[in-house]
Structure 1
Amino acid sequence: MKKYNLFTGRLVKHILAIYGQNVFILFTLLICPFFLQGQPIFSGRQMIGFNDQWSFSKDNQSWESVTIPHTWNAKDVMDDTPGYYRETSWYKRILKGNPALIGKSLFLCFDGLNQEAEVYVNGKLAGTHAGGYTRFIVPVTALVNHKANFKNEVLVKVTNRFNEDIAPLTADFTFFGGIYRKVNLLVTEPVHFYNGDYGADGVYIQTPTVSAEQASVRINSSLENSGTTASAFQLKTTVYNQQGKAVSTHTLNVNLKPGEKRVVTQDLPVIKKPELWSTKNPVLHRAVSRIIDAKSSSVLDQVANSIGFRWYKFDAKKGFFLNGEPLKLMGSSRHQDYEGLGNAVPDELQIRDVTLLKAMGGNFLRVAHYPQDPVILEACDRLGILASVEIPIVNAITESEGFTENCKHMQIEMIRQNFNHPSVIIWAYMNEVLLRPKFETDKPRQEQYFNNVRALAQQLENLTRREDPSRYTMMALHGDFDRYHKVGLTKIPMIIGWNLYQGWYGGELKGFGQFLDKHHRELPDVPLLITEFGADADPRIRSFSPLRFDKSVEYAISFSQVYLNDILSRPFVSGAMVWNLADFSSETRAETMPHINNKGLLTLGRKEKDTYYLYQAYLMDQPFIKIASRNWKERTGIADSASLFCTQPVQVATNLDVVELFLNGKSLGLQSSKNRICEWQVPFTAGLNQLRAVDPQKPMLSDQTSIDFTLLPYLFSDARDFTTMHILLGANRYFMDGEQQVLWIPDQPYRKGSFGHIGGAAFKGGNSRISYGSDKNILNTDLDPIYQTQQVDLKAYRMDVPDGEYELSLYFAELVGGTPKEMLVYNLDNQIVKEIGGQRIFTLNLNGKKFLDNFNIAEEYGYATAVKKTIRIDVANGQGLLLDFIPVKGAPVLNAISVRKLN
């Protein structure tokens, strides 16, 4: 024991010297209860991490070691097999008995588990939970054996199966399964703040009056005595300012009988001239509530919460006001998954999301479409980001008592668990609920369905206003104004959020501003937020003539400029949240990057896209310059005529009026900003090109990047060192293959001395929104854009390459036919064009010799499947490469072509 005390003393001194008192207290909370076999050295609340040493099984028989957070869907949502595992799995862990815990109350706290859970301790059911996005707490005191080192088994049964009584029913995101947020073991004294209140900690803070002169604080505390004897104690609450000074204290004497629960209210003395919380100066106070034993004066329980003193209002004509000042709410929505991790994301990466939003100049986060990890709103409080939170009623409802009760339960959980966050100003409860209306062929039955949707909305509205009269309520609706208005949903919440995609899923860009004006005209007394808007931007795709749904970064830039201008120029628009902060997983999607929604300003791995820089240029209040296309670090293009350079555009995002651009130290001149973008036509030469964008008034403000440019010859005869060329047929976009570091260029009609197709037309997809190509998931490849466009009914393809030995690769995919797939419901004006099937058979000759005979892509490889054919050929006597396409049945096709010189 002497050695133990010596070791402990040295360890304590070491921790105190390096990390200070706060970390030492945390250390004792986490470690000491398991070091000691006698009584613990302190009393009160202990929250102990319970995330390691878990085992996981899909069959409750074969097990693997895992660490929480964990999901079983991190990989299978990204493969080519439709669907992903949505069944039952099991987690188990040992909790060793400890006599020091005798007389304590024990709880298992799950921050998030998708989506139905049964928790067993030593084979006995301890608790259940339905819903995948809110915290729940399971009391386990009576089931734990406290005998020293007894191995208590904790077993958790989890399923993310479809359940028609649990929201969400359908959605454009992946329903990852697993214990994907943290787990804690909570230890308290028998007298404690009651944590059986919908997963909340039992302390609810209100600030009934706030002004620059004074602020009042009211705290409702839910108390419980789970012991066998009566208890007399003091409830003491103290508010500390940011400097740690107590600015208000209230003490209340309380008596609780054995087994009694009671809610008590404390009105604290008024705080004079409080430091106000705002988005630019998020000053946080701290409220510490303590239960103090009347006899021993020991602290039996303690809960701390942040307080932000602020007042706000939404005005249907003038927008949003914070602390009496107008503030345009600008920011993003957020999904919680991350590249390679699914939704099992560590705290550091989640907090970084909020930091990136703040760095963008954002001041608002729509926590969509479900409550997220507690660290998100903690970060919003700290960084000055206002927020809305919503429950996951998405697309549709089930007309059942079970569905209604689960939704109401989720709403209460969401509100009570997040009640004390000063960043939260809106509670929401439905998203695009009429997007996919049921019973389209039975109008009387559909009318009944609409009535039930409205009734559920009204119940949730009434419940929310009872739970928290101090905040606003909201529903997010898609752009079918007349339907929502007719059903009556526009009359229920305090705020309407519109998810609008004119110029993307449907309509034209100009329709966005027209829609805003219609709302203001027809609902003049209802405040308005834009809760979603955005266009996909696959960071691998670029275009100098961008079109709707080409997935190019350039189209997303022009789309965002129109929307931001319309939002910022209308005072009655309280704010807008771009969809989305980052790309996110959506297993049912196909398109250029299957299983991912590419509307994020950041990639799934949180790399900035050009659009992120554009939003910085619009939203930041300090001078800003960024070469927007800086991430396109490896470019290629055809030389201008016989020149030794290729002219291509470069965009710079800025909030300055004028910017100067330098190429390899030479000025390319000044350009005026138009909609926060300056653009130059840059003559790139082969090799490294240094770009530097500068504020001409303050040259220290600048941005620079390097572009490695591969110059392709205007005529093959111009380049003796020509080696490779990769060409997309039927496309006008560039594509960067990050795997092979291959750069693909758009095709062209044949030009003598160069290359190109002879005859044919670009393939156009089977619906009205696609400018060209297909949005099908191409099997057996991650490079879908190579195969999603093609030239149809071409007669020949010619490349006038110099004599030599070449490797020629031809890329095919049958884009017509196959198993019909339901189109994404979000494509609002998606006119389905019936695909005309039938056989496609053709013969292909290369330089007069048969290369492919009676080639039938679908029969040999299947539909929407990547096919690559490669051949080596000697070119002599100036004949170049000539592919002749000879139709047998249907029209010949070619999706892409690449050529590589071997000597």
Structure 2
Amino acid sequence: MQKKKWLKRVTKFFLLMLLFANKLQAQTSQRLNNDWEFVKQDLGGVWEAVRPVKVGQPEELPFWQKVSLPHCFNAIDAVDPDVNYYQGPGWYRTNLTVENPYGKGRTLLHFEGAGQKTAVYIYNTKVAEHVGGYDEWTIDLTKAIADFKLLPVFKTQFKGKIPLIIRCDNSRDLEMIPSSLSDFNVYGGLYRYVNLIYAPQLSVDKVFAHATVDAKGNVGKVSIKARLFNPDQLKATQVNIAIVDPSGKSIANFRKDISAFSGDSLLWETTVKSPKLWSTDVPQRYTVKVDIGESSLSERIGFRNFEFVKKGPFMLNGKRLLLRGTHRHEDHAGVAAAMTEEMITTEMKMMKEMGVNFIRLGHYQQSRIVLDLCDSLGILVWEEIPWCRGGLGGPIYQAQAKRMLTNMIEQHYNHPAIIIWGLGNENDWPGDFPEFDQQKIRAFMTELNTLSHQLDPSRSTAIRRCDFCRDIVDVYSPSIWAGWYRGDYTEYKDVSLTEFNKSDRFLHVEWGGDSHARRHSENPDNALSKIKKGGGADERAGDASLYGGAARVSKDGDWSESYIANLIDWHLKEQETMPWLSGTAYWPFKDFSTPIRPENPVPYVNQKGVVERDFTKKEAFYIFQSYWTTVPMVHLYGHSWPTRWGSEGEEKMIKVYSNCDEAELFVNDKSVGIRKRNSQDFPAAGLRWQVPMTNGKYTLKVVAKKGKITVADEITQFYQTAKWDKPAKMTLEKVEEKDGVLTLEAKVFDANGVQCLDAANQVSFTLVGDGELIRDRGTSIGSAKVQMYNGRAMIKVKTNGAKNVIAVQSKGIPTVFFE
């Protein structure tokens, strides 16, 4: 009997220990996603967020709304065509259950990014402040929590929980970067994850694991430094380090007792013979695990050797690699900057699917999730601080820039994907200050360049578009927008070579142009006839305007997907014949919101992306895929072009984009021939057919072959021969209904009822009833105001099972309704 009791007690003890161990592991870091409240305005003070609401008193003001994190002030208003986006304070509050499993441990709050100025309170006590919307930061809540627990309200009003209140503020401030002149929204809110962390009394704050390898990949070296979080100044501790290879095998171990630990102490240096290399095709990573006392921290590293050859290309692991890049903003339909981990993962995987091996993160330090994905997917990175436009501010401004550069490098130091630290963007753009002194900008750029190399000598520095600073940094990217802001896209190679010859190390980031998704053209290159060649291809003051100045495609073109298809196609074919080119990065991958473009076809959206703001692919996505990927693919141009037009019997070009060796086109089930792919045969690498068309419906199918693999694509289009006059009337009809959501399409016709297929009228959708327009998404079918694409425009409506009347209006055309 006694033995059974003893076994029962022992079993219970071990179960409790196991439960405690699991609890310790599960709760050492916790995302605080749920149970938040938010108010989009300022309070009179923090007391208004914590004061008790007494029974019988009027409802608490202001009205708090329930939200989850990540959350952005500007999820909707960033692309609302009728307002300027909100810039000001907003408050968040939640009540924490704090159960630190460590004796004498610390309770920390870790921000992965919050915009733009942030103040943190426990109850009515301010714990910390931070300026900067993009770097990570951590604060110690331990004392503030202990002090609050002594107050009676801890048990009465808050029932044993800890009130956490956070004020974020994205108000305009000339002495803060980035400038509000920037071509992107300076968002507000807790738009990245916030984590509650329980740390032992002594814990690892940061691990700096520097991995190097020679160009031949024979010998790898690892140098490991660490920084402790040690507020109680403990002395003796034991350090254990393990290195695990990509297959999970432990290949090196280190153990040492340390009596004193200060600063960033070098713990261990070791070599790895013939390491498995990190590359864009096979991104193999090692794990470095550092245990100090009760604290443990793991980092992923990679062995790779890179070089920007002076007056030459880019080399990775001893071989030339053409950098095939794009750009990213933290921005998405319906959430703005508050992208979830799932959204970010989808976006980065789409980039890799398109063939990207390089990305510039514009124009600020981005989420750790992005960098982890670049490491695992094999995407090389240029990451930069948000010193963007406006000129140069004073001491506060400059201190923030240095602090953000330091934080960016320290926080992302271990990522093998990163090859460039960006120091600025368009710093030749004045406007925020009365003084614009090039020499002072040069002096500060030099300070940043020196600081970057002190913090990390292993990576290059770079800037884009500031010619009077091009000699300061390691790699320079001039402004080249051939065929958009200046010049003709056929001048791209010559202009690039001229710029290449001016710099020791040249990399071309930012090229392309805007395209209004779903808009297509039968004569997309018409605007080029107005362009004066030989005048350069850089972007100059006023070029982004839709009015005035010299002829340019950005102002005089049709903003069709058809034109951008040709521009991209030409650039990509030329890049294959430029052996001196290190690489390029198309601007950007995804459409994004901007406060300085209210008159674009989708208001407040920079529409240069190859996908829309909700991940809907434009035609351009497949053009990149046809040049940059190896998995067999084929794509008929025109999936979002339901009706083409022209004369009876006129020959029309059918274009196919594919990475296959050959393709055969079928028109209404009849073959019109096989074409061989030749990347230098523009357009569409020779995969094009001239097909005479008559009025009616066409089914187009392409079958492409690559070795023994066959792929196919098919679309249906109508060909219209009837000519139209000016728009005179509209229709509004349902084209789809699914799960309580209607898709409505407005079309514009002339007085004789012929659809105006080149019409680009702006239309406005409104709703009366209990339903909801799915608007303010910043997409071609998700905006209450939008320019038509080929005489049509669409909007989605949640009916909510109720009666609704939707109207569509356009200047000079009678309004129509749909009930």
TM-score bracket for this pair, using the shorter chain length = 0.7 to 0.9
The residue that corresponds to 2:509 in the other structure is 531
The residue that corresponds to 1:223 in the other structure is 228
Higher relative contact order (CA 8 A, sep 6+): 2
Q: Secondary structure at the match of 2:603?
A: coil
Is 1:451 aligned to 2:451, yes or no?
A: no
Query: How far apart are 1:684 and its partner, in Å?
Result: 6.6
Kindly tell me: are residues 744 and 205 of structure 1, through their superposed partners in 2, closer, same or farther at Cα, counting changes over 3 Å? farther
Partner Cα distance (1:518, 1:594) in 2: 36
Kindly tell me: are residues 612 and 115 of structure 1, through their superposed partners in 2, closer, same or farther at Cα, counting changes over 3 Å? same
- Scaled by the length of structure 2, the TM-score of the pair is 0.78
Residue identity over aligned pairs, in percent, reads 25
Partner Cα distance (2:446, 2:409) in 1: 17
Q: What is the aligned counterpart of 1:522 among 491, 494, 502?
A: 502
Is 1:214 aligned to 2:214, yes or no?
A: no
**Where does 1:530-609 land on structure 2 (aligned, <5 Å)?**
530-546=508-524, 547=527, 548=553, 549-589=557-597, 590-609=599-618
Q: Does the 8 Å CA contact 1:40/1:100 hold for their aligned counterparts?
A: no
Q: What is the aligned counterpart of 1:382 among 376, 381, 393?
A: 376
Kindly tell me: are residues 138 and 686 of structure 1, through their superposed partners in 2, closer, same or farther at Cα, counting changes over 3 Å? farther
- Render the CA deviation track for 1:134-190: whole Å, top value 9, x for unaligned: 111111111114688622111101101111111111211112211000010011101
Query: How far apart are 1:784 and its partner, in Å?
Result: 2.4
Partner Cα distance (1:98, 1:358) in 2: 41
Partner Cα distance (2:498, 2:335) in 1: 42
The residue that corresponds to 1:829 in the other structure is none
Kindly tell me: are residues 111 and 598 of structure 1, through their superposed partners in 2, closer, same or farther at Cα, counting changes over 3 Å? same
**Where does 1:149-298 land on structure 2 (aligned, <5 Å)?**
150-169=160-179, 170-194=181-205, 202-210=206-214, 211-227=216-232, 230-256=234-260, 261-292=262-293
Partner Cα distance (2:254, 2:292) in 1: 12
Query: How far apart are 1:527 and its partner, in Å?
Result: 0.9
Q: Does the 8 Å CA contact 1:366/1:388 hold for their aligned counterparts?
A: yes
The residue that corresponds to 2:77 in the other structure is 76
Partner Cα distance (2:25, 2:610) in 1: 48
The residue that corresponds to 2:484 in the other structure is 504
Kindly tell me: are residues 787 and 321 of structure 1, through their superposed partners in 2, closer, same or farther at Cα, counting changes over 3 Å? closer
Q: Does the 8 Å CA contact 1:688/1:706 hold for their aligned counterparts?
A: no
Query: How far apart are 1:231 and its partner, in Å?
Result: 4.2
- Render the CA deviation track for 1:299-320: whole Å, top value 9, x for unaligned: x111111111111100133301
Q: Does the 8 Å CA contact 1:601/1:609 hold for their aligned counterparts?
A: yes
- Scaled by the length of structure 1, the TM-score of the pair is 0.71
Kindly tell me: are residues 437 and 85 of structure 1, through their superposed partners in 2, closer, same or farther at Cα, counting changes over 3 Å? closer
Partner Cα distance (1:501, 1:185) in 2: 45
Q: Secondary structure at the match of 1:542?
A: coil
Kindly tell me: are residues 290 and 662 of structure 1, through their superposed partners in 2, closer, same or farther at Cα, counting changes over 3 Å? same
Query: How far apart are 1:75 and its partner, in Å?
Result: 1.3
Q: Secondary structure at the match of 1:499?
A: coil
The residue that corresponds to 2:139 in the other structure is 138
AA matched with 2:662: V
Kindly tell me: are residues 430 and 705 of structure 1, through their superposed partners in 2, closer, same or farther at Cα, counting changes over 3 Å? same
Q: What is the aligned counterpart of 2:335 among 329, 336, 341?
A: 341
- Render the CA deviation track for 1:372-410: whole Å, top value 9, x for unaligned: 111111011001111110011112233311110010011
The residue that corresponds to 1:47 in the other structure is 29
Q: What is the aligned counterpart of 2:461 among 455, 463, 473?
A: 473
- Render the CA deviation track for 1:708-756: whole Å, top value 9, x for unaligned: 53x54649xxxxxxxxx89659xxxxxx9996335568x8xx9xx9979
Bigger shift: residues 230-239 or 404-413:
230-239
Partner Cα distance (2:760, 2:171) in 1: 42
Is 1:701 aligned to 2:710, yes or no?
A: yes
Kindly tell me: are residues 329 and 406 of structure 1, through their superposed partners in 2, closer, same or farther at Cα, counting changes over 3 Å? same
Partner Cα distance (2:247, 2:301) in 1: 14
Q: Secondary structure at the match of 2:574?
A: helix
Q: Secondary structure at the match of 2:785?
A: coil
Q: Does the 8 Å CA contact 1:314/1:320 hold for their aligned counterparts?
A: yes
Is 1:460 aligned to 2:463, yes or no?
A: no
The residue that corresponds to 2:634 in the other structure is 625
Residue ranges of structure 2 left out of the alignment (5+ in a row): 1-7, 44-61, 528-552, 729-734, 737-741, 762-779, 793-806
Is 1:358 aligned to 2:352, yes or no?
A: yes
Aligned pair count reads 694
Partner Cα distance (1:756, 1:385) in 2: 45
Query: How far apart are 1:561 and its partner, in Å?
Result: 2.3
Query: How far apart are 1:267 and its partner, in Å?
Result: 2.8
Partner Cα distance (1:871, 1:331) in 2: 45
AA matched with 1:107: L
Query: How far apart are 1:611 and its partner, in Å?
Result: 0.8
Query: How far apart are 1:40 and its partner, in Å?
Result: 8.4
Q: Does the 8 Å CA contact 2:289/2:298 hold for their aligned counterparts?
A: yes
Is 1:416 aligned to 2:417, yes or no?
A: no
AA matched with 2:123: N
Query: How far apart are 1:263 and its partner, in Å?
Result: 2.7
Partner Cα distance (2:100, 2:520) in 1: 65
Q: Secondary structure at the match of 2:186?
A: coil
Partner Cα distance (1:390, 1:475) in 2: 9
Kindly tell me: are residues 705 and 631 of structure 1, through their superposed partners in 2, closer, same or farther at Cα, counting changes over 3 Å? farther
Partner Cα distance (2:791, 2:603) in 1: 12
Partner Cα distance (1:192, 1:762) in 2: 61
Residue ranges of structure 1 left out of the alignment (5+ in a row): 1-5, 14-24, 195-201, 293-299, 478-483, 716-724, 730-735, 764-776, 790-808, 813-865, 873-899
Partner Cα distance (2:696, 2:235) in 1: 79
AA matched with 1:782: K
Partner Cα distance (1:811, 1:52) in 2: 41
Kindly tell me: are residues 152 and 702 of structure 1, through their superposed partners in 2, closer, same or farther at Cα, counting changes over 3 Å? same
Q: Does the 8 Å CA contact 2:643/2:720 hold for their aligned counterparts?
A: no
The residue that corresponds to 1:828 in the other structure is none
AA matched with 1:152: I
Q: Does the 8 Å CA contact 2:284/2:302 hold for their aligned counterparts?
A: yes
- Render the CA deviation track for 1:631-669: whole Å, top value 9, x for unaligned: 33x22546x54x8xx864332102345321112321122
Is 1:494 aligned to 2:474, yes or no?
A: yes
The residue that corresponds to 1:825 in the other structure is none
- Which one has a bigger Cα radius of gyration? 1
Partner Cα distance (1:586, 1:663) in 2: 42
The residue that corresponds to 2:796 in the other structure is none
Kindly tell me: are residues 120 and 726 of structure 1, through their superposed partners in 2, closer, same or farther at Cα, counting changes over 3 Å? farther
Kindly tell me: are residues 183 and 42 of structure 1, through their superposed partners in 2, closer, same or farther at Cα, counting changes over 3 Å? closer
- Render the CA deviation track for 1:58-80: whole Å, top value 9, x for unaligned: 24432111100001211112223
Q: What is the aligned counterpart of 1:323 among 317, 324, 334?
A: 317
